[in-house]
Amino acid sequence: MTAVILATVCAVVYGTADFCGGLATRRSRVFSVVALSQIAGLALILALLPVLPGALDPRALWWGVAAGLAGATGLVLFYRALATGVMSVVAPATAVTSAALPVVFGLAAGERPAPQALVGIVLALAAVMLVSRDRSAGTSGSAGSVLIALAAGAGFGGFFILLAQAPGDAGLWPLVGARLSSVTLVILLAIVTKRSLRPTAGSLPIIAAAGLLDMAANVLFLLAKQEGLLSLVAVLVSLYPASTLLLARYVLGERLRSLQVAGVACALGAVALIAVA
């Protein structure tokens, strides 16, 4: 039950971070939002190290570095897919892939969730696809953009899988490695592509909020993984688009489509089934 609570809260925090990031990208350049939010998250994790100490194990740092590279690569590919494809195709393809990969990995590694939990996993995957549907026009995308979206989802799913491989007594050190590698990669990409990292006036607070919330969610994921199965924790965490959607509805006044409402209902059902398993 502890793992379910932590993973569900993690999904809410991830979704809130994405909401803040979305607002930030409306006000500032994408690369400045990504880079500066990552730096804010790094500052938070360094501040939390004395509070949640762990054993400084080189394996933890290297697993974290690998996870950070996977996550950052997924982010770059996701933006690339959005630039070349249709949002209503790219977002669900990315979201479902990122949710499904940790489930498949966990089951292949020998995890055996209860039957109710397996039903909850199926509902959660359906929820991720439904709530990620965009109201943009068009229902199909090029094969190239779909493949890039799948690769982006693999990067995000790889982040969860690789982070979960770090030793259980490492504390927050895997996240230090993850954030150092992702910050380095994003800054190098900005330099190579000659993109400015300077935020527009007034956008820094919301960028910082996005980074701090994202890192807080990462911490919750690590804590949840220590308490439960990766196949269950990761799929619950992947429900984060539901909270982003609800925030857009009640903060920005965006209307929900019937498919998205059904997705939120599936998400609630998935959490309930996994909780009682």
Per residue, what are the HEC states of 239-272? CHHHHHHHHHHHHCCCCCCHHHHHHHHHHHHHHH
CA dist 170 and 73 (Å) reads: 24
Amino acid code (one letter) for 218:
N
Q: 134-148, 180-194, 251-265: which has the highest mean pLDDT?
A: 180-194
CA dist 161 and 233 (Å) reads: 11
Residue range 180-212, pLDDT digits in tens: 999 998 889 888 888 888 888 888 999 999 999
Residues 6+ apart with CB under 8 A from 18: 210, 240, 241, 244
Q: Per the structure block, which two tokens stand in for 262? A: 């059904």
pLDDT of 141 higher than 60: no
CA dist 186 and 192 (Å) reads: 10
152 confidence band (pLDDT: 50, 70, 90): confident
Cβ burial of 83 (10 Å; 0-12, 13-18, 19+) is: exposed
Query: Which of these ranges, 100-109, 134-143, 150-159, 236-245, has the smallest mean pLDDT?
Result: 134-143
pLDDT of 13 higher than 90: yes
Backbone angles phi, psi at 81, to 5 degrees: -65, -40
CA dist 63 and 140 (Å) reads: 37
Measured between its terminal Cα atoms, the distance across the chain in Å is 9
Contact 145, 90 (CB under 8 A): yes
Q: Would residue 257 be called left, alpha or beta, if left means φ above 0 and alpha means ψ between -120 and 50 degrees?
A: beta
pLDDT of residue 30: 78
137 confidence band (pLDDT: 50, 70, 90): very low
Nearest to 249 by CA among 138, 137, 139, 135: 135
22 confidence band (pLDDT: 50, 70, 90): confident
pLDDT of 67 higher than 70: yes
pLDDT of 255 higher than 90: no
Residue range 68-89, pLDDT digits in tens: 999 888 887 887 776 666 655 6
Residues 6+ apart with CB under 8 A from 92: 128, 129, 132, 133
What's the average model confidence in pLDDT over 26-48? 88
In the chain, domain spans: 2-276
Q: Per the structure block, which two tokens stand in for 168? A: 């259980």
pLDDT of residue 186: 86
